[in-house]
Amino acid sequence: MKKYIKCFTAMLLTVVMTCALIPQFTVEVEAAKTVAQLEQERKQLESQTKNAKAQLEEIRKKQVGVEEEVDAINKMLNSVQAELLKAEEDLEEINGRLADSEAALAEAEVKKEEQMELFGKRIKFFYEQGDIGYIDIIFQADSFSDMLKRAQYVQDIMEYDNKMLENLKESQRIIKEKTELIKLEKEAQESVVAVRASKQAEVKAAMDEKTALLASYEKDEKKYEQMIKANEKRDKEVQQLINEAKNPAQVYYTGGQLNWPVPSKPASSSSLSSGFVNRKSPITGKQEKHTGYDIPAPYGSAIVAAEAGTVIYSGWMNGYGNTIMINHGNNLVTLYAHNSSLVVSKGTTVKRGQQVAKCGSTGWSTGNHCHFEVRLNGTAVSPEPYLGIKNVGY
């Protein structure tokens, strides 16, 4: 378990460390850019935005085309629905005929069985009577009138037997006919069902394809809209930087010693917990470049401006926590990090010694202190010559 905790802690510290470096790099790059570089960035943004708008327009045209295709599919679907309705009616009619044919077949089968049973009895009778035939029955008459009667009986019997055979043949014919008809009706039924399934699958496949395509266009549309929005926002920021570069901030610092930023602690090297040095990080244990002075102070104690100037950053800066940055002119900027809270906002003009924040331990910090940096042309330099406080090696 301890192993997992150590791994998780190391990962977390790596992420925090990485995040902490991003804002510093961004601010330094912004500060170091020339007007020409910023103008070039604006041109690139303009080109990207123009391309994104063209792509967006193309996507919207495609969307219109797909929507028209979807409408066409819907119309086709209506037509197919009519076909399916007709198929359903045909299928119902076929099912009705099939039911009638099956009933007729069943009836014919029953009649055939009855006829076969009766025919079997007649065959049995003849077998049991031996060699006596129709002529013998007539010649056994006692008189002429008896002979006529016997002849009539024989004729009736023969007609009956012939009729019975004809009925049996007719039953067999009906059974064969109905069997063939049922086979054909079932084939027709299967054909209608197959056509219906095919039509339904065809329409569904077409609709699914167009719906998916439309969804992808909508996704791309949102992507390009976001890109255009982000580019336009960045363009405004770059324009502001250009304006600031063309109209430099008022020069407040003209040389000399800066004001000590933590009045609750003596302005002395003994007040530092770390200097502007390469050191082992108290959190990761790895070597790092520490870019300023760390000045421990009670929680909530005042952090003041080292010189008059304009606040160019006031907010959270990842590893730095709550951070203030002040531009003093002459390419000189001071930074105050890890504050518990901030008392001035971006754009505020502050005086030398004016409170700008309250001491704390936000961001990547192990205790209440002010991390104070001096940046010249966007690069952190040793605060020693500016504060008149000797640097320490820890």
Distance CA 174, CA 189 (A): 22
- Quick one: pLDDT at residue 164? 64
| Contact yes or no for 175/116 (Cβ under 8 A) | no
Tokens of 17: 């460390």
Tokens 């119309």, located at residue:
75
Top-confidence residue, 306 or 174: 306
Domains and CATH numbers, the chain: 57-228 (1.10.287.620), 252-387 (2.70.70.10)
Q: What does residue 337 show for φ and ψ, rounded to 5 degrees?
A: -120, 170
Question: Model confidence over 193-229: pLDDT tens digits?
Answer: 777 777 777 777 777 877 787 787 778 777 777 877 8
Instruction: Report the predicted TM-score, pTM, of the whole model to 2 decimal places.
Output: 0.45
Hey, what are 280's tokens? 């082992």
Residues in the chain: 394
Measured in degrees and rounded to the nearest 5, phi and psi for residue 296 equal -65, 145
Neighbours of 47 (CB within 10 A): 11
Pick 285 or 139 by higher pLDDT.
285
Angle at 19 between CA 16 and CA 22, to 5 degrees: 155
Which residue, among 329, 314, 351, has the nearest Cα to 244 in the 3D structure?
Answer: 329
pLDDT over threshold 50, residue 61: yes
The runs of H, that is alpha helices, within the chain are 2-32, 35-128, 134-139, 144-246, 384-387
Which pair of structure tokens corresponds to residue 235? 């363009």
